[in-house]
Amino acid sequence: MSLSSHVEEIEAVHSITQRLIAGGTWRASIYKNPILKNHCRILARQFSRQNPIAESLREPCLRLIPIVEKRSDLLTEVGHSRLPIIPILTRLAGYSELWIRDPETWCPNEVIDDPRRLLLSLIAHLLARYEVPEIFEQAWFVDGKLKCVERDWYCHVAQGGSLRSAPGIPVLTKRGAAIVPQLSSEDYSLKEAIRHAQVQSIDTRLSFADVDQMPVGIDFAHDWIWLPLLQAFAGGQRSVSELHLICDWIALQRGSGVAFSCKPSRPWEELVSSARKAYLSLVASMVKQEGQRKAIDIMSPQTRKEIASVSHSRWESALGLPEYQCAYKGWKWRIVELTTLRDLAAEGADMNHCVGSYFSECKLGETSIYSLWSCKEGESVMDRDLTIEVWPESSEIWQIKAWNNRSAHANSLAVVKKWAEVNNLEISKWADL
């Protein structure tokens, strides 16, 4: 390409990108550079009339993108597959309210020949008062919504905030917060780095590789149970295989309507015992012959994965009763139907009775099993209280059992009677109470 042609194309870049940001049209055929053409297509889609957020990004992008074009060759020499430049610049425009410097004052260092580093220098110019650890830089490469928690963390740290006080940051000790900047983006995503720092600050025997094999992963939303569980693991010479077992057991209860019934304050041995019982109950429901059941190793992660796959199968409710909630005598109560093998097995394991063996009858619609849960007013974690069997054909309650097949407490029984009345159920005169 001649010098004059190159100059003409550079000038065309400025005019076409500004026109596209303003919502104008263009003719791709007049641009010879395929890299530029592809970036323009992405930009045109970003600022099409169908994009509801285009208007809010228009002004900062009109300031930002022409500077990138004028002072670098990112849009003419670096393809989108190599570096998603337009999406990253759009995300950066989405944080324009936090810019501490003007795009017009960015003067890229000519020594930088890595396009990624060049783009990151622009981000730091606009947002960083202080040097940002490398692990945070990948926040700008996270796909999805324009704003995300990883980019919020970058901005917070870049402007001098403590990582531990960043918006939406999971619980981190001082030691954990000190570990995060030492980690590399080649080994971890930012969320993975946070989790690794958490577990390392709790127990140096654990790493993210350990917890990544468990449901813990980067499930920060349920740290109220995962972190105490990890702390319980660190409190003694616990087996990692037992930790895996407990975590898989907890995950089994997710989505059942009664998720996370396991209280991390329970003794470790009790947690292990409950997890074992839950899986053995599932196995007993699926495999009728005792000899075959004994050959199944529930301590194998692959075996538990296969069991979980079967246990997620769901059957239709025979009666179609809605979930029931009420307050009574200073307690909150909840009655839910159990419609998966997983739910039945967990109920049987926690309540120490044989309801897990009712799988076939429930699936065929011959019987329906309901679980009563309760906790004191002001508390959030409920415990199982009663197991209730209802015959769909006659709408009769045939069994009401507490832990270990004991009789129901008076208050619990009163709640069941209120629920039965609301749903036009009868307690059979032959019922086993």
Half-sphere exposure for 123 (CA within 13 Å, toward CB):
27
Predicted pLDDT of residue 296: 86
| Distance in angstroms (rounded) separating the CA atoms of residues 312 and 251 | 11
The model's pTM: 0.71
Predicted pLDDT of residue 155: 97
Nearest to 280 by CA among 221, 346, 337, 224: 346
- Per DSSP, what are the bridge partners of residue 327? 332
Q: Where exactly are the structural domains of the chain?
A: 3-127, 199-311, 324-432
| Distance in angstroms (rounded) separating the CA atoms of residues 33 and 9 | 9
Compute the 3-state secondary structure of the chain and give helix, strand, coil in percent, each to the nearest 5. 55, 10, 35
Assigned CATH class of 324-432: alpha beta
Q: What is the largest CA-CA distance in the chain?
A: 98
pLDDT tens-place string over residues 77-133: 999 999 999 999 999 999 999 999 999 999 987 767 899 999 999 999 999 999 999
| Distance in angstroms (rounded) separating the CA atoms of residues 310 and 301 | 15
Ranges of beta strands (E only) in 290-361 are 324-328, 331-337
Query: Tokens 């995962």 identify what position?
Result: 226
Predicted pLDDT of residue 1: 42
Tokens describing residue 417: 């009677």
Contact 422, 324 (CB under 8 A): yes
Predicted pLDDT of residue 215: 82
Nearest to 258 by CA among 359, 355, 347, 354: 347
pLDDT tens-place string over residues 326-343: 999 999 999 999 998 888
Confidence of residue 262 (pLDDT cuts 50, 70, 90): low
